[in-house]
Amino acid sequence: MSMSCNKYIVVAIVALTSAVVLARPGGMELPMAINQTICKTKVVYNRNSMRIPRVIKEIKCQDKPYAMCPKNNSEVPCCGALLEPNGPQFSCTEVFDYVTVNYTNKAALATMSVAVGCSCIQQAATSAGDA
């Protein structure tokens, strides 16, 4: 291959690599996402001066997470609404993950459960034979 052909190949590889890196899923800032969720959420700051990290941001279900639901007899599906007779039931449910923390008065690391969101989840159902 000629030297100029090699340069074009290198340029093409760099361009393709850049396109792959830039083709990531779209994102949304947390305040905007919280305002557009089906299940209403709230941000809670868990503070403890004897822990590292001292502040952990949690995203929890609001006390009344169904505020975005339309009134009954609406054609718009809503979390918490029975979509069909004897069909699956959905509800707003807090989602948790684990964070490793270090308490300054202890020598060992600890694991703590942290709320990371409020999602519309299908509730587990059992068949008549399982009951």
Under 8 Å between Cβ of 99 and 114: yes
Q: Which domain holds residue 107?
A: 28-122
Give the chain's domain count: 1
Q: What is the pLDDT of residues 12-29, one digit of tens each?
A: 454 544 444 444 567 788
**Would you place residue 71 in the very low, low, confident or very high pLDDT band (cuts 50, 70, 90)?**
low
Asked if residue 10 belongs to a domain, the reply is: no
- What pLDDT was estimated at residue 128? 58
CA distance 72 to 59: 28
7 within domain boundaries: no
Q: Where are the beta strands (DSSP E) in 1-131?
A: 41-47, 51-52, 55-61, 90-103, 109-122
| pLDDT at residue 49 greater than cutoff 90 | yes
Distance CA 2, CA 78 (A): 63
Query: What is the average pLDDT score of the chain?
Result: 76
Where is pLDDT greater, at 9 or 115? 115
Domain contains 129: no
* CATH number of 85's domain: 2.10.90.10
Say whether pLDDT at 103 is over 50.
yes
Tell me if 38 sits within 8 A of 78, measured CB to CB. Answer: yes
- What pLDDT is attached to residue 107? 86
Tell me the C-alpha distance between 49 and 104, whole Å: 9
Is 14 domain-assigned?
Answer: no
Q: Is residue 83 part of a domain?
A: yes
Residue 128 located in a structural domain:
no
